[in-house]
């Protein structure tokens, strides 16, 4: 998993865009070679924070496509501020990233 984020000030609001590299397996597909189901493996939660306060939370599941893209807007941050992100998947693997507002 890897989180890439961008944050750009547009007027009074900051547009935040996240791309999370993850295979997002549903648990319903079958391996063509073995005939066995491929185990579910997907992101369950993404959280964004600014100045130590949670500003965004999304619960994801197996129906979300590979390499999910998320976008949201918020008021408050200024150019140079950092917005941090974290995610966790159904295997408990965590990742984090950050974007500086431009």
Which residues face 49 on adjacent strands?
A: 54, 84
Angle at 67 between CA 64 and CA 69, to 5 degrees: 75
User: The pTM is what?
Assistant: 0.88
The span from the CA of 76 to the CA of 25, in Å, is 36
- For 40-98, how does the pLDDT look when each residue is reduced to its tens digit (9 = 90+)? 999 999 999 999 999 999 999 999 999 999 999 999 999 999 999 999 999 999 999 99
* 3-class DSSP state of 76: coil
pLDDT 10s digits, 26-43: 999 999 999 999 999 999
Mean pLDDT across the stretch 16-28? 95
The rounded distance, in Å, linking the Cα atoms of 18 and 12 is: 20
- Could you give the domains of the chain? 2-100 (2.60.40.10)
pLDDT at 28: 93
Quick one: pLDDT at residue 1?
Answer: 65
């Amino acid at each position: 998993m890897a989180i890439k984020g961008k944050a750009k000030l547009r007027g009074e609001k900051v547009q935040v865009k996240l791309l999370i590299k993850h295979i997002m397996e549903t648990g319903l597909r079958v391996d063509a070679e073995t005939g066995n189901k491929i185990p579910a493996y997907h992101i369950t939660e993404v959280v964004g924070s600014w100045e130590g306060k949670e500003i965004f939370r999304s619960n994801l599941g197996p129906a979300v496509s590979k390499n999910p893209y998320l976008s949201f807007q918020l008021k408050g941050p200024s150019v140079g501020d950092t917005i941090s992100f974290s995610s966790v998947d159904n295997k408990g693997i965590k990742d984090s990233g950050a974007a500086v507002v431009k």
